[in-house]
Structure 1
């Protein structure tokens, strides 16, 4: 399987996983991955379990269709805008996961109630302003809410997670949903105690070297 075919298969696998896990009920949600000359994005209004490789749509970063037999996701504007504005981003995941969407409908950000909020690259996960789906206004709101971070909520809508590749973006979308569920559970009892900016700065610094790191050139790897 060549690289293009592998990427298409990976996108479909991710879309099906999102549906199966309840991150994207029905035909909600959409995902994209950067390719040379633009991006591949899921089509509009199609259940994940019916997708075939030819259903994915290739766009340039201005949103012009380069290849595909389907209409692209109605949310293509923010997929294009994010990939234009953030060259380090290789994939965008948008979903209507239950708890993240509930918070978005309350128009509440996810504050530093837990140190894992730093997984999204900041000391909070912002909630962007409401705008009609598929519009330039929503694209602008999404970019503003993301800022330099890797995830945000969209008011009365859902969540966005980004990463250097599709696996990273999807992993983060799952983490945002877990955090949203934990935050809502805490709110049911009272207002959670928030970690202060100094502590979150320490956590963010530790996250820079968290997990398995690629060895420097010539460095020995541990057994």
Structure 2
């Protein structure tokens, strides 16, 4: 079975999306790119995360040809492959329908630096214009809007996060949900104080040395 480890991780983190309340049912999708093999493991379309097994995960070439698996790939494979091809630092892509981030996306807003943990994306989370799911237009909108950020809201749709591995992409999705909730709640009370670009630049530098390092 090609990309056995990557397929196992797709199953593991797919289930974590559900248990962490980052999506529901079979919604959302995730992928991992093995650069040495030039292959991408991606969630199959329309399958419940707790029914999905590693053998169900689809393996594709970076140009979109299925090379292993007997299921159809995610309907959003266009933007997964597009993001991976657009930036050499991207090895994993996660797309969710998490409630608070999607609420902000449904308002057509970017997510500003209401809390320093927005730094998991950058100094904000930009938003991509709406396009129907599964279309090349949506893929183009996301790739253009995300730039060098690690997260991007999708108008009237959800959130996409990227990372050097699936764990960092998942952490970004979790932390952005917290920031989105804080933004929602502060907007309900008044006008939140937004951190400046200079303040977020300091956060970005500190993030480089945060956590356990090898």
User: Which category of TM-score, normalised to the shorter sequence, fits these structures?
Assistant: over 0.9
Partner of 2:39: 38
> Are 1:7 and 2:6 matched, yes or no?
yes
Partner of 1:103: 104
Partner of 1:88: 89
> Could you report, residue by residue, the CA deviation over 1:7-51 in whole angstroms, capped at 9, with x for unpaired residues?
211210111111222211011000000021220100000100111
Q: Distance in 2 between the 1:28 and 1:185 partners?
A: 25
Partner of 1:221: none
Partner of 1:166: 166
> Could you report, residue by residue, the CA deviation over 1:141-193 in whole angstroms, capped at 9, with x for unpaired residues?
11122110111110000001111111111111111111111110111011111
Shift of 1:119: 1.7
Q: Distance in 1 between the 2:171 and 2:202 partners?
A: 23
> Could you report, residue by residue, the CA deviation over 1:84-120 in whole angstroms, capped at 9, with x for unpaired residues?
0111111101000011111110111111111111121
Shift of 1:3: 8.9
> Could you report, residue by residue, the CA deviation over 1:118-140 in whole angstroms, capped at 9, with x for unpaired residues?
121x2111111100100111001
Q: Distance in 2 between the 1:163 and 1:84 partners?
A: 13
Q: Distance in 1 between the 2:69 and 2:2 partners?
A: 17
- The 3-state SS of whatever aligns with 2:70 is coil
- The 3-state SS of whatever aligns with 2:33 is strand
* Structure 2: gaps (5+ residues): none
Q: Distance in 2 between the 1:92 and 1:150 partners?
A: 10
- The 3-state SS of whatever aligns with 1:13 is helix
Partner of 1:151: 151
Partner of 2:15: 16
* Structure 1: gaps (5+ residues): 215-223
- The 3-state SS of whatever aligns with 1:156 is coil
Report if aligned partners of 2:2, 2:59 keep a CA contact under 8 Å in 1.
no
Q: Distance in 1 between the 2:175 and 2:203 partners?
A: 16
Please give the TM-score of this superposition, normalised by the length of structure 2.
0.95
Report if aligned partners of 1:145, 1:153 keep a CA contact under 8 Å in 2.
no
Report if aligned partners of 1:41, 1:73 keep a CA contact under 8 Å in 2.
yes
> Are 1:57 and 2:62 matched, yes or no?
no
Report if aligned partners of 2:82, 2:139 keep a CA contact under 8 Å in 1.
yes
Count how many residue pairs are aligned between Structure 1 and Structure 2. 212
